[in-house]
Chains A and B, each alone.
Chain A
Amino acid sequence: MDPLFIPLLETAVPKEFELYLFAGFNDVFAISVAAITSGFLLFLGRAQWLNFPQLPIQGARVFDLLYGQLQQFADLLLKSQSGKLRYYLVGILGAMALFLAGSGLFVDLFDSESLIPEGENLAAVILALDAMLLVLVIISAVASVFLRQHIYAVMALGIMGYAVAGIFFIEPAPDVALVQFLVETLATLLLIVVISRTSADERQKAMRVLWKGQHPSNMGIWRDAAIALIIGFSVFVFAAVSIANRPERATIGQWHLDNADPQLGIVDVVAAILTDFRGMDTLVEISVFAMAALGILALVQTSRLSDPNTPQDPRTTQEIRARGIIPLSTPFTRVVATVIFPVTTLIAIVHLLYGARAPGDGFTAGVMASLGVAAWYVVFGYEETRRRLSWLEPRYFIGVGMGIAVLNALTPIWLEGGAFMGFLRIEDFEPAGLKFSTTLGFELAIALTVFGAATLMIGALANPADYEEMEIEEMDYLDTEPSGYEVTVQGEVHSTRSETPMDGQKSEAS
């Protein structure tokens, strides 16, 4: 252990120091003795000073006075609330403007000093930011354990993910930071969807027993904590060893930096690795992603088929439907959602086209576009989104995307030439800085697959538990379901219809 910790600790603890149980009679010792003795004497003579004649200034009266002042101040604060949104904005932005004006920024500007830190100054700024973000990561992760409301724990987790994205950004790894921001947003959204899909009763029940074991002695918590601590410490030692012994500069990373532009004409080296040098990995990666999405679809669909072992659901359709996502459907959110979808699609297209030159690639394009669709699911609800986006059949997107990707991977093997994905390049034709090569085709394939898979995940999870009645009534926009699914579903619907008068009326009306 010594060779590991001594170099790490040397920077933190600069000087040698010694500890004694008793360091001899010195000033500190004398002061301690005096404090303890005088306290003891005060206690002994308490009968004398407790009945001391009343002083002109009494503690209680001073407290009353201060308390009254505080209340008046609070009243003043309350009265100063105008309740008008724009005044609050004026307050916030005005304070910011004052802060900027008072920060000496403009003085520096006139002194023509550089505002951007350089050299050692920059290194210190980066170090401080890194340390702050790492501490934020730890705090939010620990908070997610102790927060007793699921939604708050989800928020804490989201903060952790964003802080990690910030660390990536400082690294500097803009591509990774972008993906982390997008994926964290999508993951948080997904978790919120899952929470809204489960009933509040079940969640409260699970929360109540969260810190309880089978046995009343509750030893399980300590066992879990011990396991977690041992694993955490082992990982810490492992991480510390490998961070302290990082490889030197002459690595394969440098080779990629040197060869991305000459060999492939791709400026963004990370994108070059993903789409060309290690293109096969990415092919497998999007296959896994698409497979996960199809797995979710299969899981959610089969779980909707009635299981003979579980008793018939005694709840009414209304109760079940209340478990679904409550659409946040206000005029404002509807406008925002409607506008945001074309915007995210546009950003996705830009990511796709400029993947070789700037942060963002096929994957971020796919996630970006699917975030727009996710906003629709949250705002309009499942049913309306499916009706309005009837062209959106995620399975076809996955199919077409995977098809292009595999074709793009196989063609150079047949042709026996060039780099992996970018085997064909159009030289000397760069409108608006765009470069056309088969890599772009591969990026498009990634984007289509990821878009399909992500919308499939959100759609499958956003689909309210027993939505079959609605689907039967409006079957015209849902025509491609497997036949076995429909038959069982219709069986269920008949049973529900006979039970609830609501649905009876509905079927009469239709």
Chain B
Amino acid sequence: MVDLLFAITVGVLFSVGVFQMLRRDLIKAAMGFSILFTAINLYIIAVGAFDGNVPAYANQPEDSQSSDPLVQALILTAIVVSFGSYALLLSFVTTIARRFETLDSDEVNELVG
């Protein structure tokens, strides 16, 4: 049951993220990226190999089941890299806001033919 809810959440987050990304407001579009990153991390943790009841540490009692350490390491890397690119994206937004004095992406149209 909670598996289904995980899948629904990932789907909804993707919808919301894509919708935000298509907005004219650049800050809202940047927020869309952040939602997509989060959705992917949530997805990775949901597809871990086993449902643990204790953290993935080596000195756990015999009868307990550790959570999958591999997906956690993957997510850690993903969080860091996505934060780096998110920060870069935000600096693009500030730069555009400074150069074109607008946050409306429709007004940034120097490529118009």
Contacts and interface: CB of A to CB of B under 8 A. Distances in A.
Interface of A: 8, 11-12, 122, 127, 130-131, 134-135, 137-138, 141-142, 144-145, 150, 153-154, 157, 160-161, 164, 167-168, 171-176, 179-180, 183, 186-187, 190-191, 194-195, 197-199, 202-203, 205-207, 209-210, 212, 214, 224-225, 227-229, 231-233, 235-237, 239-240, 242-244, 246-249, 251-254, 256-257, 260-261, 266-270, 272-274, 278, 281-282, 285-286, 288-289, 291-293, 295-296, 299-300, 303, 307, 310, 359, 363, 450, 453, 457, 460-461, 465
A292 B90 CA distance: 11
A16 B41 CA distance: 37
Interface string B41-81: 11101111110111111110000001111111101110111
B83 to A, nearest CB: 5
Contacts of B24: 206, 209-210, 212
Contact of A160 (B35, B76, B81): B35
Nearest to A139: B12
B97 A198 contact: yes
Contacts of B9: 134, 137-138
Given A153-B31, A251-B49, A460 B91 contact: yes
Interface of B: 1-20, 22-28, 30-31, 34-35, 38-39, 41-43, 45-50, 52-59, 66-73, 75-77, 79-81, 83-88, 90-95, 97-99, 101-104, 106
A88 B19 CA distance: 42
Q: Which 3 residue pairs spanning A and B have beta carbons closest together?
A: A236-B11, A232-B15, A292-B84
Contacts of B92: 299
A150 B27 CA distance: 8
A131 B2 contact: yes
A296 B26 CA distance: 17
B84 A232 contact: no
A453 B53 CA distance: 35
A179 B2 contact: no
Given A144-B20, A205-B102, A257-B66, A183 B50 contact: no
Given A150-B27, A171-B45, A206-B104, A285 B80 contact: yes
10 contacts: A122-B53, A144-B16, A190-B86, A191-B31, A203-B27, A233-B15, A236-B8, A252-B70, A256-B70, A289-B84
A102 B24 CA distance: 53
Nearest to A278: B73
Given A172-B54, A461-B94, 18 more contacts: A12-B4, A130-B2, A141-B17, A144-B16, A157-B31, A157-B34, A171-B45, A172-B52, A231-B14, A232-B16, A236-B10, A236-B12, A246-B49, A251-B68, A253-B69, A310-B99, A363-B80, A461-B91
A295 B23 CA distance: 25
A300 B49 contact: no
B77 A285 contact: yes
A145 B25 contact: no
A451 to B, nearest CB: 13
B41 to A, nearest CB: 7
B76 A205 contact: no
Contacts of B41: 164, 180
A250 to B, nearest CB: 9
B10 A249 contact: no
Contact of B7 (A12, A145, A243): A243
B10 to A, nearest CB: 4
Contact of B95 (A252, A254, A299): A299
- Of B22, B25, B47, which is in contact with the most chain A CB atoms at under 10 Å from its CB? B25
A225 B17 CA distance: 11
Nearest to B25: A206
B95 A233 contact: no
Given A176-B45, A269-B57, A187 B69 contact: no
- Of A153, A269, A363, which is in contact with the most chain B CB atoms at under 10 Å from its CB? A269
A249 B10 CA distance: 24
A286 B23 CA distance: 31
Contacts of A465: 98
B57 A268 contact: yes
- Of A145, A233, A453, which is in contact with the most chain B CB atoms at under 10 Å from its CB? A145
